[in-house]
Amino acid sequence: MESLLLSVLMTILVPLGIGILLVYIIFKRRYTYWDNFDIAVKRPQFPYGSLGNPFNKTASGHVTVADAYNSFKRSNQKHGGIYVYFTPLYLPVDPVIIKNILIKDFNYFSDRAAYYNKKHDPLSFNLVTAGGQDWKDMRYKLTPLFTISKLKLICPLLQIHNERFVKKIDDYVRRMEPAEINDLTGCLTTDIIVSCSLGVECNSMEHPNTDFRKFGKRLFHFTPFRLLKATFTRGFPKLARYLGLVVFPKDVSDFFMNIVDEVFDYRTKNNAKYNDFFQSLMELQKNETNERVKKTNIATQALLLFTAGFETTSSTLTLAIYELGCNLEIQEKLRKEVSSVLEKHNGKLSYEALMEMEYLDRVTDETLRKYPSLPISIRKCIQDYRVEGTNLVIQKGVKVCISILGIHRDPEYYPDPEVFDPERFTEINKSKRPPCTYLPFLDGPRNCIGYCLQSRVSSESHES
């Protein structure tokens, strides 16, 4: 009996052990990728790579990437190599290399290598995830939605939501109650994006449990399982598509599709026209004959605005308010500017009035310097690329990681980087820094398309 058990165990355990050993050897070999190049490397730890165990550490992944940036910089390196799990990533430090990657040689790095699944999750194939010609076509069509003139059209909407935000804060002040600012800026951003992109009034400022708020929170709630799935889909996109893994949970996509259905049908039947993104999205689709495709395309872009614009804007607002609370002199200086400009404009917070608030811009810029909403950006090299001034050739398929946080906290460009100092952004001080050392919206053809919209949304609300 005992020998039978032993032989069964041996039949299972030996092949299993050999299997594990083989997998270990194969994957461990991937950690030698950068050894083939003359480049500094942040040593990996099996199986997590250079960033360490994501479940057992005090610093998040982007902080570890910034640490790698710092260590390469300290040892006077222009760049270095890191590993995220088993994937080698190129990490540039020299701003000239970064500028070439983002702007001059953009054609080598136009893809973001983000995961989408057209078949099982059509809304996931959008401007952020698409690559190559698909991305170029989408960007070409969507760019006219983000011009200053379009922005001016939605300014009255921004003003309505801003007034509600101010009233809410006033209520807390009158009741002498502490306010959960993160929740309030979340509601404000939700209301603005939903009314601009879907033409729907959700007023989560008054009703914080609206479906939009609920689904919005779910979109940005990353459980360990979701993080694991995201890592898997990024590392093995083909297999993930084959397995039918999706980006957006089905109930979230269904919810957005239903809203788009309703708004589209209402506007078509009543021939109703509004000054919002939804209207522009409908116009973009006017030559599409298949109604389902038309609605799916609109829902894709509306959900994209929500996912790309929500967390970035609301967290920036929260952190600006936090810094103004910690730095009373800066708060006072800002208050004086706002009051004097408003006085000139008869108390009306117009687009023109906002344009005159220079100190407000500096406060926003410094907030995004200290706390970039996207601390890293990933690009994929789509053809072999020689890095200027070096012998290194980045091979096709290798990913590039720009540490925006590392650059923004680099004492060479920003002395005492932990100090919140809007004066870093006077015209004269800005002109002293080399290009590509301030990248909250990235740079080049694939920068943030919402740049001009976001700066106004944030400004209106700091104003309160």
Quick check: helix, strand or coil at residue 426?
A: coil
Nearer to ligand HEM, 184 or 305 (CB): 305
Nearer to ligand HEM, 368 or 392 (CB): 368
Could you tell me where the beta strands, DSSP code E, fall in 18-168?
Answer: 40-41, 79-84, 87-92
Nearer to ligand HEM, 40 or 436 (CB): 436
- Shortest CB 70 distance to ligand HEM, Å: 20
Contact indicator for 395, 445 with CB cutoff of 8 Å: no
Nearest-CB residue for ligand HEM: 450
The residue whose two tokens read 């099982």 is: 120
> Angle CA(454)–CA(341)–CA(317) in degrees, nearest 5?
30
- Shortest CB 320 distance to ligand HEM, Å: 10
Nearer to ligand HEM, 40 or 405 (CB): 405
- Shortest CB 329 distance to ligand HEM, Å: 24
| 448 annotated as ligand-binding | yes
The CA–CA distances, whole Å, from 235 to 64, 86, 131 equal 19, 8, 16
Quick check: helix, strand or coil at residue 445?
A: coil
- Shortest CB 449 distance to ligand HEM, Å: 4
- Shortest CB 266 distance to ligand HEM, Å: 23
Q: What number of other Cβ atoms are within 10 A of residue 36's Cβ? A: 10
The residue whose two tokens read 């002040």 is: 173
Nearer to ligand HEM, 96 or 128 (CB): 128
The residue whose two tokens read 């000239």 is: 96
Distance CA 454, CA 188 (A): 13
- Shortest CB 268 distance to ligand HEM, Å: 24
Nearer to ligand HEM, 255 or 371 (CB): 371
Could you tell me where the beta strands, DSSP code E, fall in 108-219?
Answer: none
Q: What number of other Cβ atoms are within 10 A of residue 435's Cβ? A: 13
The torsion angles phi and psi of 202, rounded to 5 degrees, stand at -110, -20
- Shortest CB 50 distance to ligand HEM, Å: 19
The torsion angles phi and psi of 400, rounded to 5 degrees, stand at -110, 135
The site for ligand HEM (CB under 6 A) is made up of 112, 127-128, 139, 304-305, 308-309, 312-313, 316, 368, 373-374, 377, 440-442, 446, 448-450, 453-454
Distance CA 353, CA 93 (A): 39
Distance CA 430, CA 427 (A): 5
Closest CA to 92 of 171, 275, 108: 108
Residue type, 162: N
Nearer to ligand HEM, 113 or 392 (CB): 113
Report the binding-site residues for heme. 448
Report the binding-site residues. 448
